[in-house]
């Protein structure tokens, strides 16, 4: 598993119920928030938004992504991606002007 960083404009932002998962059976991520960037259109990244100790941070990441989508800002995303997969799990989100 590699830790990667990608930057670009959001082309897709989705939030769904717990347990909804995203991606095909061989490349699924167990997340509730999913995003795609224009710089890696084949790749989806996401994170969980569960009622646990990480909820405030993940809600903050979702809020940043919503702002970026509304204001067409550049997003910088750090995420884990398994070799040969296209869908990864986000650990950090930042915005750039």
Task: Answer for the pair 83, 27: CB distance below 8 angstroms, yes or no.
Answer: no
The residues, any chain, with a CB within 8 Å of residue 4's CB and separated by 6 or more, are 78, 79, 80, 81, 88
Instruction: Say whether pLDDT at 92 is over 90.
Output: yes
What is this structure's pTM? 0.93
H helix intervals, 1-97: 55-71
pLDDT, mean of residues 66-90: 97
pLDDT of residue 80: 98
- 1 — pLDDT class (breaks 50, 70, 90): confident
Digit-coded pLDDT (tens) for 50-77: 999 999 999 999 999 999 999 999 999 9
Digit-coded pLDDT (tens) for 8-34: 999 999 999 998 899 999 999 999 999
């Amino acid at each position: 598993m590699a830790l990667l960083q990608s930057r670009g404009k959001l082309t897709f932002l989705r939030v769904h119920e717990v347990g909804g998962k995203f991606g095909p059976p061989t490349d699924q991520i167990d997340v509730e928030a999913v995003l795609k960037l224009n710089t890696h259109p084949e790749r989806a990244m996401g994170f969980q938004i569960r009622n646990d100790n990480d909820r405030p941070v993940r809600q903050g990441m979702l809020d940043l992504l919503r702002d970026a989508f509304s204001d067409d800002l550049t997003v910088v995303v750090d995420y884990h991606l398994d070799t040969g997969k296209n869908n990864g799990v986000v650990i950090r989100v930042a915005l750039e002007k």
